[in-house]
Structure formats: structure tokens, C-alpha cells
Amino acid sequence: MQTSSVFKNISRFITFTAAVMLIAGCASKPTIETDYDHTIDFSQFKTYGFFNPMGIESPNYSSIYGSIFRDAISKEMESRGYTKSDNPDLLINVSGRLQEKTQVTTTSDPYMAGGYYGYRRGYYGAWGGYGYGTQTHVSNYTEGTVNVDLVDRAQKRMVWEGVAVGRINEKTTTEKRRENIYAGIQEMFAAYPFRAGQ
């Protein structure tokens, strides 16, 4: 029983780290996509709140980054007329995950200037498909995914989702992570097409 609890805490920490590092520390700008349930009447929603804990948090505590996500999302919701409530119409959850990826790139290089094929010096190359004139590069990287879900609390049904996917940069400073969370959430909610009660 205790081993299971430790494993859950480690899993939540990894998930939390994924969320923070993705939106807050991408090596390049994350790809952001959103979608919503077109059968739902969004005018019925006027209030919002957060899951406790959210998917990126431990059941025992909320981290500083959990607070930053809450603040960034609250700004977006309130700018659209929603009011934070203890008995909300919409519940918001943030979750994340990390995944190791490998990228293999093969380029044709029949005119290599150095090494064994340097004697050709660009005067001529090999026929198509000639394998010795290619270079293969393999790189490993970590990809992170962050989901922001808006859930109809009464129906227990997700009605809107924002997803950010990108490569992780582990060297990002804490202040830059904070800035990137606000910028990433703002970009994500730019595609949210509704206002409270409308």
C-alpha cells in the first residue's frame, strides 16, 4: 500500500514537471491546438473553479507552478466575464506528460569535400540511391504535452480542451518559465470562442 502511494507521488511529480517545462521551458514555441464540444450551449456557463488537486499537482500540496497556472487561467476566464466560484459551472484541470523521442535525419551528400570522398571535389557525384554519399543524424529529445480541460461540472463532461506540445528545454530560468506559462495560456485561450452567459 505504501509502495503504491510513493509511486503515485513520483508519477504526479513527473506529470507536474512535464506541464511546467513544456509551457514554461520549450526549446521552441509549442504547438497549441484547441477544440470544443459543438453540441453544448456555452451560454449556460457563468462561473468557474479548479480541480483540487489538478492533474499536475500532488494530492497533499499545491506548488508555486500550480498557483501560476491557476492565476494565468483565471485572468483569461475573468477577461471573458466568468466569475470564480466554490460551486462552479465549469471545472478546470491542467495535466501534463513527458515522452522521450528520437529523430533520425538522412541527407544526401555525394559531394563531401573532406574524408574519403574528398577527391571528387564537386566535379561529379554518385548515381541516385548511392548510399555512401549520405549522412544520418540521430538525436534524442524530450517532448512534453500539456492539456487544459474545461469540464461541465453538472454533466461531468469535458466541453473544451487546449493542448500544447513541444520540445523541452531544461535550462530555462524560473522567471522565464513563469513568463512562458502566462504567454502559453494566453495563446491557448485566444482560441476560446465564448464569453460567460453568452
The closest of 23, 25, 17 to 56, measured between CA atoms, is 17
pLDDT tens per residue, range 117-174? 555 555 655 555 555 555 666 666 566 688 899 999 999 999 999 998 877 666 777 7
Name which residue leads in pLDDT, 70 or 134: 70
pLDDT tens per residue, range 43-69? 999 999 999 888 887 766 556 778 889
Q: Could you tell me which residues are beta bridge partners of residue 89?
A: none
Q: Which residues of 135-174 are buried (b: 16+ CB within 10 A; e: fewer)?
A: eeeeeeebbbbbbbbbbbbeeeebbbbbbbbbbbbeebee
pLDDT tens per residue, range 90-120? 999 998 776 665 666 666 554 444 455 555 5
Q: How far apart are CA 181 and CA 178, in angstroms?
A: 5
Cell triple for 124? 561529379
